[in-house]
Amino acid sequence: MLKTTISKVSQYVDQEVTIGVWLANKRSSGKIQFLQLRDGTGFIQGVLVKKEVSEEAWEAAKHLTQESSLYVKGLVRKDDRAPSGFELTVTDIDIIQYAIDYPITPKEHGTEFLMDHRHLWLRSSRQHAILRIRNEIIRATYEFFNHHDFIKIDPPILTGSSAEGSTDLFHTEYFDRDAYLSQSGQLYMEAAAMAFGKVFSFGPTFRAEKSKTRRHLIEFWMIEPEMAFTDHEESLVIQENYVSFLIQSVLKNCPTDLKTIDRDISKLEKIKAPFPRITYDDAIKLLKDKGFDDIEWGEDFGAPHETAIAESFDLPVFVTNYPTAIKAFYMKPQPGREEVVLCADLLAPEGYGEIIGGSQRIDDLELLKKRYEEHNLTDPAYKWYLELRQYGSVPHSGFGLGLERTVAWVCGIEHIRETSPFPRLLNRIYP
């Protein structure tokens, strides 16, 4: 018995193979049964011809219900009309389990229904394609940072303090003390950069944000590189090269998945570094020129503002040098113009908003202490963070890319919920 997977059938043309599969769909024309089979690596059609299989196999197939599991044995045939290019002439089947009535039928279902059945919805070809693209972005991330000599360092998820004085932290108990779920590993990554030079992390982050938007999840994964001896300008170059590498990797390695979800790939093909840049000052002017009168210098952009700015460019755009007052305490002010910081948000095209937030960090202890206090951060738990500035402090920069938001953009999908296998949303922690 030659056991294989659907993704590998091209190696076995005209040979008999056995594959463990689920039944996605079937139709019959009396003397022939067509089984749409899925094994997680792909989809293939199995064809049973009544007079060529045993009575037993024919009857077993007739009773197959959607999502029944079975071992199918058959001859691999090359067939250019098949979406995968191959077909299986079934010679025998071995049922593992007949599934009971499957709730997700080929008819349209509402979003809440599908979300309640997320554990099953994951089996659809669309969800497969999206999560495979997510997987490719993760794979390409490791390739990119390994190639550029970054070391992966894992910051803690449980932390003893509220790093940025933020209100949307998840609180939990840590024996007899308080603890919080990490919102970002950044402060730890700065310590790691002082030890290893170039580091990146990839892990879950949690934000108790009471916002219900199509861009925000409660639990999401972030890629956070941090680089010693690197200024803001050098960091932007890494960021644009990284993002274009992700896009080009998906185009190269996921053509079938992009087709499954009907992604207009012409929108992705042009995503190549370098990316345009606009200062926050000019972005405000641009918005005023476009008729926005609900934003003033000093205020943070909302989703409509980010969309309008991004629309003026045909590539992702860096908005640089935001007002110091609306950014995190650790960002380095622009020399000679302290009211703005050396930072940038990278805004994706097509209305996906901020996919990266990054900055050069303050490397001077006195300035960092001053900014810490200005932000009313009194927590002594971050003494270690301040101390980094006393032992060979160097210019350093870093950024955070939101995985799910990037996947949403690359896939061109409406809502971020489909980019996570089990999304946590404001009103949902099930399944």
Binding stretches for ligand ATP (CB under 6 A) = 184, 207, 209, 215-217, 220, 222, 353-357, 400, 402, 404-405
Tell me how far, at minimum, the Cβ of 326 lies from ligand ATP, in Å.
10
CA atoms within 13 A on the CB side of 133: 33
Q: Which is nearer to ligand ATP, 215 or 332 (CB)?
A: 215
Q: Which is nearer to ligand ATP, 307 or 393 (CB)?
A: 307
- Of 413, 415, 414, 407, which Cα lies nearest the Cα of 133? 407
Tell me how far, at minimum, the Cβ of 255 lies from Mg ion, in Å.
32
Q: Which residues contact 143 (CB under 8 A, 6 or more apart)?
A: 245, 249
Query: Among all residues, whose Cβ is closest to ligand ATP?
Result: 402
Are 45 and 38 in contact by the 8 Å Cβ rule? The answer is no
Q: Which is nearer to ligand ATP, 46 or 358 (CB)?
A: 358
Residues forming a β-bridge with 35: 26, 46
Chain Cα centroid distance, residue 1: 39
> Rounded to whole angstroms, how far apart are CA atoms 411 and 246?
12
- Told to check if 333 binds Mg ion by CB under 5 A, we report no
Q: Which stretch binds Mg ion (CB under 5 A): 140-148, 184-192, 356-364, 380-388?
A: 356-364
Q: Which does 220 bind (CB under 5 to 8 A by kind): ligand ATP, Mg ion, none?
A: ligand ATP
- Told to check if 357 binds Mg ion by CB under 5 A, we report yes
Tell me how far, at minimum, the Cβ of 184 lies from ligand ATP, in Å.
6
Query: Among all residues, whose Cβ is closest to Mg ion?
Result: 357
Q: Which stretch binds Mg ion (CB under 5 A): 129-137, 357-365, 385-393, 418-426?
A: 357-365
Residue where the block lists tokens 């910051």? 155
> Rounded to whole angstroms, how far apart are CA atoms 368 and 380?
14
> Rounded to whole angstroms, how far apart are CA atoms 178 and 144?
37
CA atoms within 13 A on the CB side of 165: 14
Tell me how far, at minimum, the Cβ of 404 lies from ligand ATP, in Å.
5
Tell me how far, at minimum, the Cβ of 169 lies from ligand ATP, in Å.
12
> Rounded to whole angstroms, how far apart are CA atoms 20 and 38?
9
Q: Which does 240 bind (CB under 5 to 8 A by kind): Mg ion, ligand ATP, none?
A: none
Q: Which does 322 bind (CB under 5 to 8 A by kind): Mg ion, ligand ATP, none?
A: none
Q: Which is nearer to Mg ion, 68 or 184 (CB)?
A: 184
DSSP per position, 307-326: HHHHHT-SS-EEEE--BGGG
- Told to check if 42 binds Mg ion by CB under 5 A, we report no
Structure tokens at 75: 């001859």
Are 117 and 104 in contact by the 8 Å Cβ rule? The answer is yes
Q: Which is nearer to ligand ATP, 76 or 223 (CB)?
A: 223
What residue ranges bind Mg ion (CB under 5 A)? 354, 357
